[in-house]
Structure 1
Amino acid sequence: MTTTTELSATTLLRFATAGSVDDGKSTLVGRLLHDSKSVLADQLEAVERASASRGKEGPDLALLTDGLRAEREQGITIDVAYRYFATPRRRFILADTPGHVQYTRNMVTGASTAELTVVLVDARNGVVEQTRRHAAIAALLRVPHVVLAVNKMDLVDYQESVFAAIAKEFTAYATELGVPEVTAIPISALAGDNVVEPSANMDWYGGPTVLEHLETVPVSHDLAHCHARLPVQYVIRPQSTEHPDYRGYAGQIAAGTFRVGEQVTVLPSGRTTKVSGIDLLGRPVDVAWTPQSVTLLLEDDIDISRGDLIVPSKDAPETTQDIEATVCHVADQALTVGHRVLLKHGTRTVKAVVKDIPSRLTLDDLSLHPHPGQLVANDIGRVKIRTAEPLPVDAYADSRRTGSFILIDPADGTTLTAGMVGESFAAPEPVKDDADGDAWDF
């Protein structure tokens, strides 16, 4: 049994699953948990009872992740199911994301913090449009490792030629998208082939199993060496006779490291001061780093509120009201030129207007459709946005936390679009700014 001390010494891998409906994502996750002995006895008993009530001969391992009643009734994954498990070699946070086109927005959520994405493909169907969409999203989100799991190999008689053709097509497509690494693995999640244990039915395959790859893939998510960023979530002013003048600025460090005595700048105001103290879990420390939640104490009394960003003065990003980004549109309501929205960046939310949509990505051949005028659900495209107030944004390539944003419908709070600052598949041609002037035309 793995001890707490051993776990603390292992690395953490965040990964997500993606694929079309019925490709077997939930079954793969269930098999992974079951065969790695990460399922408690009472959980397995509950799954066995539920499977028996549905007329299944054996346990339906997909039920280990499909927890919502609607998911079990429809036989599809709707919500992102997070699972935590560990082996002696590594700890894992897994996001089992939906495959249905309607729930692509949830795949964006699940993969946004992942270091690896497992894209499942049904060996009988090969690469389909949703496969391409998920590969494009993984590329946009800069997920560094992609695993192509060609599932249901048992239904194609474990033919090497079927696997090879699918792996070749997907790898070529992912390479065009800019995915840095693709590892293809032939599996049968239902039978357990190459998930945790090597398959006796595919002796022609000499690569790792899914779990072996997950345990050994290099993890390079050390954000402590990035430019430091602290989005202010809350200003702490306790009513205490012991510390009547205490004023702290609390939040989770998005990237980098803060030190006592370091000169910092508060954005967007641009005021500078020094860090006089750092409180972590109620105790003073000299150094704090991502992803710790801390309270910074500053030497000077500066007007700071929720939504401001504290950064080292030497690494301060520029503030801007004009943002160009690649976005994945996730709402049923279309995003159009002139659309008035709210833009949420970190802990700050400001009014904004969509000034232009220069292009939309065509997933089949990765061509750009110029000036589509709108983006509909699941579209990926380029946008130009003008904000009411200047924002300190990083390029998404430099920081996945402070280089991302979401667009919100101001009428009902619906999330419309997820955006990555500066990301682009190809540089769109310049477009004349012809948005009409009104109260939102900043």
Structure 2
Amino acid sequence: MRTVILGGGESGVGAALLAKKKGMEVFLSDMGSIRENYRQLLIQNDIDFEEGMHTYEKILNADWIVKSPGVPKKADIILEINQKGIRLSSEIEFASEFTDSKIIAVTGSNGKTTTTSLIYHILKNDGLKVGLGGNIGKSFAKQVAEENHDYYVLEVSSFQLDDIQNFRPYISLLLNLSKDHLDQYNYDYEEYALAKFRITENQENDNFFIYNKDDEMSRNLLEKLEIKAKMLPFSTSETLAEGAYADEDRIFIQLHEEFSLKIEELALMGKHNVANSMAASIAGKLLNISNESIRNSLITFQAVEHRLELVSEINGVQYINDSKATNVNATYYALESMKKPTVWIVGGVDKGNDYTEIEELVKRKVKAIVCLGLDNQKIIDFFKDKKQAIYDTSSMEEAVAVCRNIAEKGDTVLLSPCCASFDLFENYEDRGKKFKEEVLKK
């Protein structure tokens, strides 16, 4: 079988290694340049590859094509592949065909990384053999090729779900839905939401689907869709007989028996993380992990880098790195959890953002807006009549310097950009790292 991999990053090279191990003829193609460590892996494993181009005749003679999530689905090569009817899969689809391990897959517009990492922590803390992959950690395919885990916890994006055929997790989680990446889904919110729901489309009645009962779009679609998996809801607004819910003080997990924990004991801060902690706890209970072990994990978990990460407190000002907030809804959660007057750093590559969703929170919580991007006009135009203090900056150094001047003792400086990072940075990690470096400069 001839297998072609599009994209030479973590997921693409992982898929190439797995294909090679399974005795396939492998060719990898990347339109950009391949990083040196990945290039060396391909050479060491005698895998044929090209970079800086796509040679169509070498790609379109494949039996199976594996696409990295970074390759746009509207790219010319993808249109050609679809026209020819060649099987096109994401790395998670490809790798899942070669493992019998139980897969716990997490999707949603926000909180995916945190919840995936928390479930991984719960399983690992209980002594289970577990791998972490998908959008975070090591390539899922590479782990299937080289490691032997009983469980895989995967963070899965809508882009990866676009390219599945048979992917069937043992437990799937859909945390929430909000308008994100609409540029890739014809600016149609329902089309994007349905892409997320594909996480459960191949599940059968011996599988589980954990969902957010408070999420309006999820509720609407569940009325139309036929879900075969056993459905388990979580809610922060109503009491549930099965699943999980929260009141003002505690979370309650209702599965087999009741288990509860004080919210103030949770390692994660913010109302959205109460929901994430409940979703992760349901998954833990489904895998027969004891209440005591889950409790211990929820208390000891350390937050994900670039997600509401406290960088430092300097001269009485807290600096928080939420660079991973690349859409308005993620920033909504960040602002909602702010307890002090906030100097807010926002901006980057706008993905069709609608700032009305956070307008009220900005009025209540934000004392000054510091725009960080090459083109900040849309943000300035939206907030100029609502906030006096708006600053226009085009480098991290400049943005942090402005924040230092404005912020007073007892304030918080929050980097929560609402936008992608590609105008000034390599990715959101690079943006978060540069923020931390500037904050910590003496």
Question: Structure 1-normalised TM-score?
Answer: 0.24
Greater share of residues in strand: 1
Greater gyration radius: 1
Question: Structure 2-normalised TM-score?
Answer: 0.24
Greater share of residues in helix: 2
